[in-house]
Amino acid sequence: MRIGRVATADGIRYCRPEGEGVRLLAGAFGSGLRPDDQLLPAGAFRLSSPVQPAKVLVVLGAFPRDGDREAARATPPRFAAKLPSALTAAGDDVIVPAEIGDAVTIEPELAVVIGAPLRRATPAEAADAVLGYTCMNDVTHLPYIREHGDFLRAKSVDTFGPLGPWIETGITEEDISAGLTIRAFVDGRLVHAGDTRDFTHCIGEVVSEASRFYTLEPGDVISLGTPLDPVTARVGNTVVVEVERVGALENRLVAEREAP
């Protein structure tokens, strides 16, 4: 099943794709969603990010640089934070501030969405608490990290977190271990690719490690890390992040316009 969110006259509602439109869902995230009787046809809705988390974590060093997965596993998963205010929806613009210039690093990633509260969970408990997976572009301004060690500012500029378009609940940890391709395209040209079979740590281990330090709540997002050597995109480019069996997330980079 695929779950998303859509802006309606009654506010933001959860939905699922149905034909060319979306079926609205009743109920609450984390305690059960069920189909409503309202179907919105194509052109009558605008997707939002599929979830609005209290916390967004991004995994650092998810892919072993030397190809030695066993050696890399000696280090537990490491995380940086991305402010939830950075999130934006599929189809929305990524707005690049003038202070940054016209280029950013794009990081195509598979992200996990938490479906149940977790604190100090075992890897098995953590895997069971996963609701599903979605696509993320962990847009980053690397000079802030290289020059100042400032991960938060590098990753949390408004709109630097495209997420979506859907949460795919039919993917398992075994599917990810077997391998799903992660790709990024700039203006239709393939520029970056990797495979989830190369993740240093399995999903349960990543979520379990996060839960040792942070109480994870339904809707929280952990973006699982980008393949090695991410690339640069510039203002005017259209970027697509594609994860096999999960979806494709498209956003355009635009320059911020200064207020008059």
- Look-up: residue for tokens 């790709």? 183
Domain boundaries, the chain: 1-47, 49-255
Q: Which CATH class is domain 49-255?
A: alpha beta
pLDDT above 70 for 258:
no
pLDDT above 90 for 257:
no
Q: What is the pLDDT of residues 198-215, one digit of tens each?
A: 999 999 999 999 999 999
pLDDT above 50 for 260:
no
Q: Which residues contact 247 (CB under 8 A, 6 or more apart)?
A: 2, 134, 135, 164, 165, 166, 168
- Looking at CATH, the fold of the domain delimited by 1-47 is given as SH3 type barrels. (2.30.30)
Residue type, 12: I
Average pLDDT, the chain: 94
Task: With CA atoms as reference, report the closest residue to 21 among 37, 3, 44, 5.
Answer: 44
Identify the pLDDT of residue 259.
47
